[in-house]
Amino acid sequence: MNTDKQSHGPLAGIKVIELAGIGPAPLCCTLLSDMGADVLRIDRNVPSGLGSPRTPRTDLLRRGRPSVSIDMKHPSGIATLLRLVAQADVVIDPFRPGVTERLGLGPEDCMARNPKLVYGRMTGWGQDGTLSQAAGHDLNYLALTGVLHAIGPKELPVPPLNVVADMGGGAMFLAVGVLAGVIEAQRSGQGQVVDTAMTEGSAFLGTGAFGSLAAGDWVHERTSNILDGGAHFYRCYKTSDGKFVSIASIEAKFYAILLEKLSLDPADLPAQMDRPTWPDMALKFEALFAGKSRDEWCAIMEGTDICFAPVLTFDEAFEHPHNRDRGSFVEVDGVRQPGPAPRFSRTPSAIKSPPPEMGADTAAGLAAWGLGADEIAALMEEKAVGWQG
């Protein structure tokens, strides 16, 4: 962790109000904070079901920014929040459509105080549409896009953790959207609402597959296409020690190296793209890879142009030489975790701090955003701010 670098990150000077939520909105704010933005997280001032009442240091989606507790149902709490909004470049709203409007914190309320504000809204289904008020999670949003149908063995679709819809289609698209909004607001002097739906972000991530469908090159059966495990040259194989390796030799020149390392003569094999032969070729490859351990295959294939990598556990990923060389994972407050990404040559990102306990920074956070000590003390006396759990 390097706080000196953090103060010069590429987003230094950008001020963000984060209304506390779960999943993609916090990851987006972690990314913005790592890049140097001044993110102030607004946690409810009583236990809310969004996590443990006093968040532990392992809640990594809360790292790098202070936590201020505010009662969003208290008039003085709302007034305080609107004062903060007046100074912000961005507000991140993680709630269902209409929730912030009912609280008096909707886009119109906030933009009346700050016309240049970019109001980023993060939902699964989007701000309108027939499902906009329905509950859901990553798996449901991904299911609606067609992408989930393509993932897993033939028998059933498999949840790809929550990294596709929540974190990819949600957090990353929200980050891009609000940053684009900030750039435009600097030119026009006007803010706007950024409606980020995990369904649409997830579908966009699958744009290449939709192109294959349009070209007539997609089979609606899992493990039947090049990128879904159907091709023998793009899948994982089990090794003799019960571990796995990944092979992604799509290009002919890479496939030729793969065959060479497997001691196979191309003249004795069907053409690489002869789709009906893929199942039999996969069986042949399975038998070959089962003959050596994962480490033995690494010694043979790693670092070549086969497009090869061992399938690592999280613990193993920390220790892989490539990840260690780049410092891809870092340790903060005794917790190993992914470091900031992407890399910047002149204004590097860095992690400001470990995750705070909820409301731990209420007084300091409000003071840093311009509230006086007497005002803060009065608000705490009213129980409009400060942790009450």
pLDDT digits (tens, 9 = 90+) for 220-229: 999 999 999 9
Reported as a pLDDT band with limits 50, 70 and 90, residue 144 is very high
Selected catalytic residue, list 8, 74, 137, 320? 137
Active-site residue flag, 137: yes
- Residue predicted with more confidence, 18 or 56: 18
pLDDT digits (tens, 9 = 90+) for 156-205: 999 999 999 999 999 999 999 999 999 999 999 999 999 999 999 999 99
pLDDT digits (tens, 9 = 90+) for 192-202: 999 999 999 99
pLDDT digits (tens, 9 = 90+) for 324-377: 999 999 999 999 999 999 999 999 999 999 999 989 999 999 999 999 999 999
What's the CATH number for 3-205+329-382? 3.40.50.10540
**What is the arithmetic mean of pLDDT over 75-79?**
97
* 342 upstream amide cis, omega within 30 of 0: yes
Selected catalytic residue, list 166, 228, 232, 361? 166
What's the CATH number for 226-238+244-310? 3.30.1540.10
pLDDT at residue 52, rounded to an integer: 54
Contact 10, 349 (CB under 8 A): yes
pLDDT at residue 4, rounded to an integer: 44
In this structure, how many other beta carbons lie within 10 angstroms of the beta carbon of residue 12?
A: 13
pTM: 0.94
Active-site residue flag, 320: no
The yes-or-no answer to whether 3-205+329-382 and 226-238+244-310 have a common fold is no
Q: Are strands 67-70 and 38-44 parallel, antiparallel or unpaired?
A: parallel
Euclidean distance between CA atoms 58 and 50, whole angstroms: 14
Percent of the chain with pLDDT strictly greater than 70: 96
pLDDT digits (tens, 9 = 90+) for 8-49: 799 999 999 999 998 899 999 999 999 999 999 999 887 665
Q: Where are the domains of the chain?
A: 3-205+329-382, 226-238+244-310
**What is the arithmetic mean of pLDDT over 82-106?**
97
Euclidean distance between CA atoms 202 and 326, whole angstroms: 29
Computed on alpha carbons and rounded to an integer, the radius of gyration of the chain in Å comes to 25
pLDDT at residue 1, rounded to an integer: 39
